[in-house]
Chain A
Amino acid sequence: MKQDVIARGAAHSSIIHDSAEKHVTGQADYTDDLTLPEGTLHAYLGLSTVAHGRISRMDLDAVRKASGVHLVLTADDIPGVNDISPNGLHDDPVFAFPEVQFHGQPIFAVIAETRDQARRACKLAKLDYEELPFALDAMAARDAGMGYVTKPLTLSRGDMAALDAAPRRLDGRLTVGGQEHFYLESQIALAIPGEDDEVVLHTSTQHPTEVQHMVAHVLHVPANAVVVNVRRMGGGFGGKETQMNLFCCVAALAAKRLKRAVKLRPDRDDDFAITGKRHDFVIDYDVGYDDTGRIHAVSGDFYARCGFSADLSGPVTDRALFHADNAYYYPAVELRSHPMKTNTCSNTAFRGFGGPQGVIMAERVVEDIAYALGRDPLEIRKLNLYENGQLTPYHQEVEDQILPRIFEELEASSDYHARRQAVLDFNARAKSMGGTIRKGIALTPVKFGISFTATWFNQAGALIHIYSDGSVHLNHGGTEMGQGLNTKVAQVVAEALGIDIARIRITRTTTEKVPNTSATAASSGSDLNGMAALDACRQLTQRLTAFAAEAKGLTPDDIQIGETVRMGGEDMPFADFIKTAYIARIQLSAAGFYKTPKIHWNRETGRGRPFYYYAYGAACAEVSVDTLTGEYVIERADVLHDVGRSLNPALDKGQVEGAFVQGTGWLTTEELWWDKQGRLRTHAPSTYKIPLASDRPKIFNVDLADWSVNRENTIKRSKAVGEPPFMLGISVFQALNMAVASFNGYRANPRIDAPATPERVLMAIEALR
């Protein structure tokens, strides 16, 4: 049934984020802003001060006696299992004892009248350790024989004899740094005890269902006793997919023991120390190619610093392999992951989920080839792009390739070729005149697979109530972390019901309304929850249409639900119609469900179709480098990105811009630095530098490929947007390499490691001078 009136706020319109006015007025409540129940206590965590050791003495007497302290919790106080491993490997304790495995690992918790008291009391603990050998990074772990935290993966396809047979050959090592999420709102949990074994949590997690299960396991109660609520997060980026489990479990444990509400919010420094980050990788690659620049074979070993436990390192390192081809066809390929155990925080999900680390290897490889052949890297990129029908290293057929058109349009809109020549001319002039500034330009693509590789996560639910006054209450299993998911799903509902979006109230995500949800992750939020909401809308419109047709003696085709309900020649306001339906005892609530079709993946054989579809994009970035200091400026970035038929172009553009800048941060100034004792010394914004407004591209042109339509039947033919554009920041990284390569006449890729801090850039220049 076609609507002839487009509802205000319907899909594809650029309406504002549903919380925008609350954000700017300070009225949007985050967990730390909630009004606390009377008698709420505050918890704080006591952390390990060694990277690896066995606790030989733990004297907490002074802690217990400190002012305001009610309770101290250790591993002994856990009624259920002392484990919050999200993967069943039982390697992730709430409280470490007797062995501690990284500097900053939680050992105990203090619950006191105030947060300040709890925090100060933690400092009074007297712990002695028998210190044990430790390894901090992936290569040290390999040398020390630390082993894997989880089972590695090999992807292979084609005959690897092609590597030796290729006319040309190169190999190299790429070290690519990790990244701290730096969500502006740190981890936080508020637990409110209920009767019997019940507990309610208010928190900031991307995965309420997992928190529910973890709390249940730790408390040794059934999942139905635990309710987890999330209104909104102050940023997530993957850092709140599993990492909130710890904080929720501690708060819930304390709340049940004391029968009082308990809040736990670590200081930013402790948040940095405790929680996992993007995995850093050391990647060894070996490539066979020919004189034209065509790749024949690629072999790659991906060593990841996973930290002390597996957490999500399995799927993260898998995804690094899945994206080690980026957009390029490798006729023969063998890729091996090495998820190394290290004595550091347990690295976790972060926007792109290992994908960026795979993509950057592919981009390094094409640049290596281009420099070796004296060609524009863009030519090598275009030469090796997938054609539909070709197989990825995991044997999925590429069917939706649109990069040639994206390249063509971006080359034109960014004036790439003329500007590359201008950059070459500028550098030649600088070389002859002794100028201190050098420039670089690069145009790089992304192809990103959309779906959870754990196939069963690709399901979602939604719950829609229409109250008898015609107001609509929308709930789904996804969580809002700023990406505008709630707005987008409400747009889907507004359009499906033909009603004004103002009629729809989007409420907090809660395990009470939609059960067994997946994490809001893998860019899947709108794809999954939008479809589930649409399913609920279908049920409601079917019921309401059937009711109206029967009541008026019409056929369903004569009925149109909307702000004005049309029944043959008769019009009725939505609210009045709903009232009539209620009186007629029509069910005005529906639960929707969705599961992604077509996908399957067999990790044992390394074959399948793990991804429903691919999202594509490309960016052209130009940089200027100060060759006396290594500092740089992004002069201009042009982005053309594919979100299919956008559900909300304004919100999607915001995702693309934000992802691009976050991606450049990963590859430029964001550097994680552990000292020799294993203590993270870049532990807060004073020492860990994410981009500022004055670091964004000076000229920043971002366009959506508005002609793109998802060939798969996704929600309104849109595509996922959260992660893919993150990898467009690689264009900046490659442009920096080009500026440095001007010192060797572009004869070899200078191969700067990531992040390309001013120091790495200057030292690369100094090495070539």
Chain B
Amino acid sequence: MGGTIRFLLNDTEISLTEAGSRDTLLDFLRLNRRLTGTKEGCAEGDCGACTVLVGRLHHGRLHYEPINACIRFLASCHGCHVVTVEHLRGPQGLHPVQAAMVEHHGSQCGFCTPGFVMALYGLWMQNPRPDMLAVETALQGNLCRCTGYEPIVKAAFAASQAGGQNFDALTVERDRVTAWLADLPRQRVTVSRGDDRAILPADAADLAQVLAENPKATIVAGATDVGLWVTKFLRDISPAVFIGHLQDLKHIQITPGQISIGAGVTYSEFEPFILQHFPEALDYWRRIGGWQVRNAGTIGGNVANGSPIGETPPLLIALGATMTLCSAAGTRDIAVEDFFIDYGKQDRRPGEFVQAIHVPLRGDARIAAYKVSKRHHADITASAAAFHIETDGATITDARVAFGGMAATPKRAANAEAALRGQPFSAETFEAAAHAVANDFTPLSDWRASAEYRQTLAANFFRRFWLEQSGQDHRLRRVE
């Protein structure tokens, strides 16, 4: 075996012949490279103090996104350009984002500040003229306990006024970095420290081969959950197979009547398609984690993980999605709803991986996706529901309503669906479904919500759906 992890760190080429599967980017930056501007606040991807930019080639184009270094595994940085806060300050002094933060008193204790600077830098680069929604969305993954955020938001707008993107270091370096990344050979890389192995397959076919050789391997895509297995539960994940870099798992294909999503597509990469094909779910989509999490986490990982509180399964199930599972022996297709067998148990056989998810596109269906959590953004679901309702005008011809947070798995509400199917498309029908859903689930009480609250929400989602469909005042929006 043997191999080398290669990536760019600011303006330095990094080559690592020894690395463990559990090594995090954050520890590498702080302990190995002494780049201490990137802070550890929570080690679980929820505070953003460790935000760095990661640049990678996506269909040949170099693209930078903020991610959480604390739950980013070092090995998965192979083929990337990692940019830390230390890279921002140029010979001319402060970067426009930094200058705006200083001028608007955007730091107090300063510990979260480098992370905010990097998230704002990512926004400034991607969206030179952000509106309030864009700024607040970009800051969903960053916690500040001192300022109350007002000066940071002001700094975001001031930085956009300052402009300067064309002279930015990452713009100036773009061609050189692109060439360097493109030149890396596409081949399997394996690194280890002792018995601890990290494997990066060359492509999806090689992934099948790696899994055939290592049926007990941990498959790691965005690591937004697996990262916590390591940082919080101190679990061993070796051998770990990293798949976030595999371009052939990142395809999004639209054919008549269907959109196929490669399992490695991140939430952020899919967001434009949500906007285009399922605009009703856009707000829901932006409630998945914070920006950094959406830049790292994958749809395939969210499904494969099997969590009862993952956001994508209720939506995919309601939309009638299917999925392709692949192994060295071949592929098979199943309905997404059949993948979830029980808590922690999915229909994924040894050696298999999720290759793609296929969502039917039916133009005439009425769709909605709702989520409630204690905090509106970057919080885990208390209860979530997705609706896919078909009518022939006056009558409901088909109803698929799937819930998260209500049972041990993401699950359809059979009784409520039955109360809808074949009934008039009316307030009374949805009120009946709101009552019927009480018989569908026996939710838990925990720190996120009581069973009673979850039941009440489940019922109210049906009322909300009717209000929304009938054009009435139906929900609170922070930004119109």
Binding site for B on A (CB under 8 A): 16-17, 19-30, 32-33, 35, 119-120, 123, 181-186, 232-237, 267-269, 430, 433-437, 481-484, 624-626, 628-633, 650-651, 653-654, 657-662, 669, 671, 673, 675, 681-682, 684-687, 689-696, 698, 700, 702, 757-759, 762-763, 766
Contacts and interface: CB of A to CB of B under 8 A. Distances in A.
B374 A685 contact: no
Given A25-B88, A671-B447, A437 B39 contact: no
B374 A436 contact: no
Contact of A27 (B37, B42, B474): B37
A689 B135 contact: no
Nearest to B107: A23
Contacts of B94: 21, 24-25
B41 A268 contact: yes
Interface residues of B, number: 87
B129 to A, nearest CB: 18
B43 interface: yes
B378 A692 contact: yes
Contacts of B374: 669, 671, 689, 757-759
18 contacts: A20-B110, A21-B102, A24-B113, A25-B89, A26-B38, A185-B109, A234-B111, A430-B473, A482-B108, A630-B453, A657-B151, A684-B232, A687-B380, A691-B375, A692-B375, A693-B142, A694-B139, A696-B153
Given A696-B148, A759-B374, A682 B109 contact: no
A280 to B, nearest CB: 15
B117 A235 contact: no
Contact residues of A: prevailing secondary structure? loop
B178 to A, nearest CB: 26
A689 B473 contact: no
A681 B472 CA distance: 39
Contacts of B153: 693, 696
Given A267-B231, A628-B461, A651-B105, 14 more contacts: A24-B117, A25-B37, A25-B85, A184-B39, A232-B109, A235-B109, A430-B473, A629-B457, A657-B150, A658-B147, A661-B147, A689-B374, A693-B149, A696-B149
A763 B452 contact: yes
Given A28-B110, A232-B110, A693-B135, A20 B105 contact: yes
B contact patch SS = loop
Nearest to B155: A24
Given A482-B110, A626-B475, A234 B39 contact: yes
A684 B42 contact: yes
Contacts of A29: 36
Given A26-B36, A624-B476, A759-B449, A184 B150 contact: no
B276 to A, nearest CB: 24
Contacts of B456: 762-763, 766
Contacts of A236: 109
A695 B136 CA distance: 9
Interface in B396-417: none
Contacts of A123: 234
A198 B478 CA distance: 57
B212 interface: no
B41 A185 contact: yes
Contacts, number: 263
Given A17-B108, A20-B105, A30-B39, A434 B460 contact: no
B311 interface: no
B42 to A, nearest CB: 5
A436 B475 CA distance: 7
Nearest to A433: B473
Contact of A437 (B112, B149, B382, B476): B476
B359 interface: no
B450 interface: yes
B57 interface: no
B81 interface: no
A475 to B, nearest CB: 20
B146 interface: yes
Contacts of B41: 184-186, 268, 685
- Give me the 7 closest cross-chain CB pairs, A-B, nearest first: A26-B37, A482-B109, A234-B111, A23-B110, A661-B148, A482-B108, A685-B46
Interface in B87-108: 88-89, 94, 97-98, 101-103, 105-108
B467 interface: yes
Given A25-B88, A625-B476, A759-B453, A684 B377 contact: no
B109 A692 contact: no
Interface string B454-480: 001100110110010000111110100
B145 interface: yes
A25 B98 contact: yes
A268 B89 contact: no
B114 interface: yes
Contacts of B148: 657-662, 691, 696, 700
Contacts of A661: 147-149
Contact of B450 (A22, A436, A759): A759
B372 interface: yes
A20 B108 CA distance: 8
Contacts of A691: 148-149, 375
Nearest to A30: B111
B152 interface: yes
Interface in B219-237: 228, 231-232, 234
B440 interface: no
Contacts of A690: 143, 145
Contacts of B39: 30, 32, 184-185, 234
A628 B463 contact: yes
B84 interface: yes
B146 A235 contact: yes
A227 B448 CA distance: 44
Contacts of B88: 25
A240 to B, nearest CB: 11
B478 A698 contact: yes
Interface in B117-173: 117, 135-137, 139-140, 142-153
A681 B380 CA distance: 14
Nearest to A114: B31
Given A626-B476, A757-B374, A692 B47 contact: no
A185 B137 CA distance: 24
Given A184-B112, A766-B456, A631 B143 contact: no
A385 B457 CA distance: 42
Contacts of A671: 374, 447
Contacts of A435: 472-473
A657 B146 CA distance: 9
B364 interface: no
A661 B35 CA distance: 31
A650 B105 contact: yes
A483 B107 CA distance: 10
Contacts of B474: 436, 628
Contact of B111 (A235, A657, A660): A235
B372 A631 contact: yes
A600 B355 CA distance: 73
A742 to B, nearest CB: 15
B390 interface: no
Nearest to B152: A693
Given A654-B151, A692-B149, A684 B107 contact: no
B271 interface: no
A434 to B, nearest CB: 7
B107 A17 contact: yes
A629 B110 contact: no
A430 B88 CA distance: 51
Nearest to B454: A759
Contact of B376 (A237, A628, A631): A631
A182 B473 CA distance: 37
B40 interface: yes
B140 A694 contact: yes
Nearest to A626: B476
Contacts of B232: 267, 269, 684
A19 B110 CA distance: 8
B44 interface: yes
